[in-house]
Structure 1
Amino acid sequence: MPRLSLRPADDSGFHRSFSLILASRRALALVLPILLLTLLYSHSFRTEPTAWSNNNSESPVELQQPNDTINDDANYEHQAAFRTITVQGYDNNAMPGGEGRGDLQCDVLTHTNEVQVEDSFHLQENLLEIASSLDGHPLVDYPTAMIKGEKMSIQEIVSSSWDRLATACSFLPDRSVHLCISRIIFHPLRPKDHCRINFLHARIFSQDWEPLDGYRLTWKEHEVTFPKIFDTNTEFKLGGELFGPEDARIIIEDVPDAEPVIVFNMKSSQSDWKRAMWIFRPFSGHSTILTIRGTLERPKKEKNWTPLFIRDPDQTPSDKRPPSKYLYFVWKFEPLTVLKCHLLTGMCDVVFEQQVDDNFISYHEISSSTLRGGTEFVPIPRSLSSSWWSRYHDPHVQAFISFPRTHVEGAGGCRQPSYRPEIAVLVTNTTDFYLTYISDPLDFGPDTVMNAEQLSDSCGKGRIMIANSIARWDLQESKSGSRERTDVMTLTLSVDDSTVQVMRVAGIYQFLQSLPSLDFYFSRSPKVYGSKKTFPQIATSATRGEFAELVRTTDPFERASAVGLDLRACAEEAAEVYTEENAAPHDKEGSNDLDLLEKKGGRHKRRHIRRIDVPTRRY
């Protein structure tokens, strides 16, 4: 059983160190306290930063590579458990509104299709073992009131002081396992959002999500044993709070024996104790703070950067390409801004910032909703067969899918923000970027991620649903004699910042192929679409009539980029409507009555908008 030392914090500045040995679970007494040592010493709280390393000296368990019940040729026979849901969203038609054409209405952009979802399942964690492994950390001590008088058991102390949040996973195809990272927070007698310190915990799961504790992974000259608390060069000050890595995301490049990249935000002396973005390599242990070149001052808080790997347009097959030296980020969705960051130095450059001609801008009512980062962006294959890739496809053009989230403030009388994931598709020719699709908010239906009670009130226990990672996209062309391809995407999600759930979605690739804006992307035509004059090649019916001159004289990217603004505005409005419609009765006094749209027949219709001191925002 794990050994946990409970060190009370004395308000007078004196610390006493105790040890409590956990007895067997089958024993009548859950805890047998033994006083090992009492140390009385006086000290002053230090203000200088301190670093701590957790080197676990326990011998790792030998474990061979797993032979899982689901292999790479899995046909998902359990797919009968999938059920169909309708996904409505907004597809880019590259025909903006604006001067002389009127505002572009969301109805014009609406696209509806279906995917299949399976009930999620929970990943559990042993916080007692994690707390025991971190007991030597200088910031890990417990308020005296928690342990004096034996009023609380060890389990109660741990459950009220430790939590796990925001687990993100990535499938390692060379090893057929999932690498999952979690934020572990220590918050004795404090709310979660005022924790004392965060830790980055990693665990390995098999292909069918069995925990593989003791798993030993060898990568080049490095060997790592899981589960593990990563050493992220965390600095801290005694008496402070909110130290260590937060909101970690993980991404892996589609090249042989790739080392994943973990992205998180953390404050340290390197950023003058502002919350900055970092990258961490879990096998080599290399960590780097990210810095945007040319910025005069680092903002007070950096977060919600969405990572993606962009393939160099050299047409080299992925099984022969070396790992990239750069990682890209969608830094902002408004305006769409993209960074290119060096993985070794951490220096970042703004390589794209959306600029739209005023003549192409439509007016949308101000929304209390904003689109923010969620999962990583993963590449969308143009074909499931590589035999004709180089012959028929422009290597510059690449598309990516992600599940960002909307942050909705004040709608439905909610006193706290509500969150829901969306599907978003990004397209680039490696120079220019635009959003080509964003869905309405997704809740995946009752009892898939949330139960009916949670879904009935977007202000209550169901107000937060966030997708943290696209853990895997199992996408294979149909085998000989099989009628259907394999197309199953696995997501990790969290609800109310308290659960870690895994959910499978089937039919995403088919859904993407149904988007008119991606016809040119999936086409087998040998045309080259990456050049400035032909990117993107979105079909439009406006080649005749009043808009013919616009199509003939305007750069297609400029038109698509402008409509990308409308996609985001429509999705944000839809998220606000969702919150309004799914909120239980609340005191709405003082709200701005931001119920902008009402749903009829699966379509959004504008209605009269009543405002109280809310200005109109122009996108």
Structure 2
Amino acid sequence: MIHSSASSFHLAIATAVSLALFAIYKFSAKGSRLIRILSLTLCLMVVNFLIALNNSYVEPSQLQPPLLNSAVSDSLYDLNYKPFKVPAYSFIETHKELQNDFKCSQVQFEDNSNVQASQLFELNQPEDLKRIRKQVKQLSKTRSIYNLCFQDNDLSESEVLETKWFKFCGSSVWLDKYKVHFMVNRVVYTVAARRNSPTVSMLAGQVFDSDWNEIMDFRFPNSNLTFPTILPHYIDPGKRDIKNVLGAEDPRIILHEFTNNQGESDQEPIIVFNSRRSNIRWNRAMHIYRPLHDSYNIVMLNIKGKKRSFREKNWAPFMDSVNENKINFVYNFNPLRIIQCDITSGQCEKVSGPDFNKNANDNAGKLRGGTNIVKIPPHFLPEKLQSRYYWFGIARSHIEGCGCLHEVYRPHAFIISRPKEGLNFTLDYVSSLIDFNINPEPWHEQEGRCSDGKSVLIPNSIAYWDIDSVTNSNSIPTDYMGITFSEADKTNRIVHVKGWLSHILKTLDVDKHQLLHHYADEKHIYYENQLLGECATYLAQEYCQYSEKNMKWD
């Protein structure tokens, strides 16, 4: 990589050499004419080198700005990256019009730009659960809800930790101001010793440096928490005598940039999760939690003009407002609906998409929320795309009966956009099932994937996204993205991916006339959105058969 500090170093060395050669010329004035000629010639050569170097020097202000102000650690360059297949669908890239006899194969395209993934890296450590259990025991002295985590009869601590405590669903965000990754995890205690039948679900926080080394005893300014720690937010105990399925599930995280009380620009993680609540008949509702702002209170979300669903979950968060107190969600993909919520009051309203059906439980479709959604910086998009804002995210699907598997959960990349002068969001692109070369652990240990019958790979967060370094203005920079995953609801891992930016640009590579024509017909756009949602799983059987053979599921 080329940095301004390196250029300064070269300039300093060249200047020193030039001065030395000039001194030789000066002091040899009474000496050999040959020495004078040689020293003068060398001096002129160094001066020319200085001029050339100065002309090629790039001011820091002229460098390509980072994508999201996140850290790309030098250790990323040494990883072993391998390509993985990204079959995808887009009416934009394929230039197809909507036809009555539409088939998904008509808008399918392959990209040879070579998106590549590293190996998986484990983020959980053997001592994590023991430390967490100790913290929960301490909290139980003042908050009785945590006593539910200690119903273990005569089991030893090691048996309890192995069979009744689980840590997964890790979602992370880079806080550039503090130069750390902030990760929230779901921690489950289950009396029944089944991780999909929790007694209490809790949230735990960790902090990592740019190389993903955990930082112990870390404190943020104006926060009373010391990390790593249980995040001691309110947990509704419910009204039933038998206590189960309490607390926060499926935490997701997003970066919130705001102006603090001192009038300074600041950053914090906002955590969104779903949880059952007594005051809504024990239905499941979405919540906002700001652990560095208030470590206890949570805000329940409510959609204006919509009857509350029995189960609200899988909302994918993203930022899109000049109002720093608003957060957006993809409520569902098929049809595409966007809602916007106030982070203080919890009041939400639909800002894009069709009205909600009379049936409140309509958060359906094959694509569900996966990670947080990140904005594609406009300065990386060509001029013909500057009339819109674009976002990139990773959703997931749940498919029954796929190859030898009864159930399979897999990621799907997607792009959404809206005009700069309006709020009509569209789904522009969606990939088929992708796995980043990951062969998820079976749900039950000691079993093959096919005999187990359930394969779960859940994308939890886009932890960071940034570019490599200075690149030629005529070339696409190499970008790096960190994606956290859970396998079989029992792991916390991260994979590093490079090449998404090139893939995205190819997806949106159409002439301006075609682009304007595509977005002009809003009725067709609505149907295209629905079809893309359906096409996301069009190749599911082909994917499962291929993976069964190549990943040796049996």
Which residue of the other structure, out of 477, 488, 498, is the alignment partner of 1:485?
Answer: 477
- Alignment of 1:109 with 2:102, yes or no, is no
Which amino acid in the other structure matches residue 418 of structure 1? V
Residue of structure 1 in register with 2:525 after alignment: 560
Deviations 1:361-411 (A, max 9, x none): xxxxxxx981111001110112259xxx9xx68876211111101110233
Residue of structure 1 in register with 2:377 after alignment: 381
Which amino acid in the other structure matches residue 351 of structure 2? V
Larger radius of gyration: 2
Question: Pairwise CA RMSD of aligned residues?
Answer: 3.3
- Alignment of 1:128 with 2:143, yes or no, is no
Instruction: Answer yes or no: is the 8 Å Cα contact 1:371–1:406 preserved in 2.
Output: yes
Instruction: Answer yes or no: is the 8 Å Cα contact 1:369–1:409 preserved in 2.
Output: no
Structure-to-structure mapping, 1:141-152, within 5 angstroms: 141=148, 146-148=152-154, 152=155
Instruction: Answer yes or no: is the 8 Å Cα contact 1:169–1:250 preserved in 2.
Output: yes
Secondary structure, counterpart of 2:219 in structure 1: strand
- Alignment of 1:180 with 2:183, yes or no, is yes
- Judging changes above 3 Å, is the alpha-carbon distance between structure 1 residues 176 and 283 closer, same or farther for their aligned structure 2 residues? same
Instruction: Answer yes or no: is the 8 Å Cα contact 2:205–2:231 preserved in 1.
Output: yes
**Aligned-pair distance for 1:158?**
2.2
Secondary structure, counterpart of 1:345 in structure 2: coil
Residue of structure 2 in register with 1:270 after alignment: 279
Residue of structure 2 in register with 1:192 after alignment: 195
Structure 1 unmatched ranges of 5 or more: 1-70, 313-322, 356-367, 524-533, 541-550, 585-619
**Aligned-pair distance for 1:481?**
12
Secondary structure, counterpart of 1:538 in structure 2: helix
Residue of structure 1 in register with 2:394 after alignment: 403
Secondary structure, counterpart of 2:531 in structure 1: helix
- Alignment of 1:167 with 2:170, yes or no, is yes
Which residue of the other structure, out of 297, 308, 322, is the alignment partner of 2:318?
Answer: 308
Which residue of the other structure, out of 495, 520, 540, is the alignment partner of 1:503?
Answer: 495
- Give the Cα separation in 1 of the matches to 2:149 and 2:473: 62
Which residue of the other structure, out of 538, 541, 544, is the alignment partner of 2:515?
Answer: 538
Structure-to-structure mapping, 1:185-264, within 5 angstroms: 185-218=188-221, 221-237=222-238, 238-253=241-256, 256-264=265-273
Secondary structure, counterpart of 2:428 in structure 1: strand
Task: Name the stretch that deviates more: 460-469 or 494-503.
Answer: 460-469
Secondary structure, counterpart of 1:193 in structure 2: coil
Secondary structure, counterpart of 1:512 in structure 2: helix
**Aligned-pair distance for 1:156?**
1.3
- Give the Cα separation in 2 of the matches to 1:564 and 1:199: 36
Which residue of the other structure, out of 279, 288, 295, is the alignment partner of 1:279?
Answer: 288
Instruction: Answer yes or no: is the 8 Å Cα contact 2:88–2:430 preserved in 1.
Output: yes
Instruction: Answer yes or no: is the 8 Å Cα contact 1:384–1:475 preserved in 2.
Output: no
Residue of structure 2 in register with 1:426 after alignment: 416
Deviations 1:127-160 (A, max 9, x none): 111111112244535787x543xxx431112222
Residue of structure 2 in register with 1:140 after alignment: 147
- Give the Cα separation in 2 of the matches to 1:212 and 1:181: 14
**Aligned-pair distance for 1:194?**
1.7
- Alignment of 1:438 with 2:430, yes or no, is yes
Instruction: Answer yes or no: is the 8 Å Cα contact 1:446–1:455 preserved in 2.
Output: no
Instruction: Answer yes or no: is the 8 Å Cα contact 1:288–1:344 preserved in 2.
Output: yes
**Aligned-pair distance for 1:420?**
0.5
Secondary structure, counterpart of 1:505 in structure 2: strand
- Judging changes above 3 Å, is the alpha-carbon distance between structure 1 residues 514 and 241 closer, same or farther for their aligned structure 2 residues? same
- Alignment of 1:335 with 2:335, yes or no, is yes
Instruction: Answer yes or no: is the 8 Å Cα contact 1:406–1:575 preserved in 2.
Output: no
- Give the Cα separation in 1 of the matches to 2:546 and 2:446: 14
Instruction: Answer yes or no: is the 8 Å Cα contact 1:490–1:505 preserved in 2.
Output: yes
Instruction: Answer yes or no: is the 8 Å Cα contact 2:148–2:199 preserved in 1.
Output: no
Larger % of helix: which? 2
Residue of structure 2 in register with 1:578 after alignment: 543
- Judging changes above 3 Å, is the alpha-carbon distance between structure 1 residues 406 and 576 closer, same or farther for their aligned structure 2 residues? farther
Structure-to-structure mapping, 1:335-374, within 5 angstroms: 335-354=335-354, 370-374=366-370
Deviations 1:445-471 (A, max 9, x none): 266x669x9998467376100110000
Instruction: Answer yes or no: is the 8 Å Cα contact 2:72–2:467 preserved in 1.
Output: no
Structure 2 unmatched ranges of 5 or more: 1-69, 259-264, 356-363, 550-554
- Give the Cα separation in 1 of the matches to 2:473 and 2:315: 43
- Judging changes above 3 Å, is the alpha-carbon distance between structure 1 residues 519 and 86 closer, same or farther for their aligned structure 2 residues? same
Residues matched between the structures, number: 448
Deviations 1:525-557 (A, max 9, x none): xxxxxxxxx9xx5277xxxxxxxxxx8xx9334
Secondary structure, counterpart of 2:524 in structure 1: helix
Which amino acid in the other structure matches residue 381 of structure 1? P
**Aligned-pair distance for 1:278?**
0.3
Instruction: Answer yes or no: is the 8 Å Cα contact 2:187–2:204 preserved in 1.
Output: yes
Which amino acid in the other structure matches residue 410 of structure 1? G
- Judging changes above 3 Å, is the alpha-carbon distance between structure 1 residues 211 and 91 closer, same or farther for their aligned structure 2 residues? same
Which residue of the other structure, out of 403, 407, 410, is the alignment partner of 1:412?
Answer: 403
Deviations 1:235-275 (A, max 9, x none): 10452211111000001146642222110001122323211
- Give the Cα separation in 1 of the matches to 2:365 and 2:542: 10
Secondary structure, counterpart of 2:543 in structure 1: helix
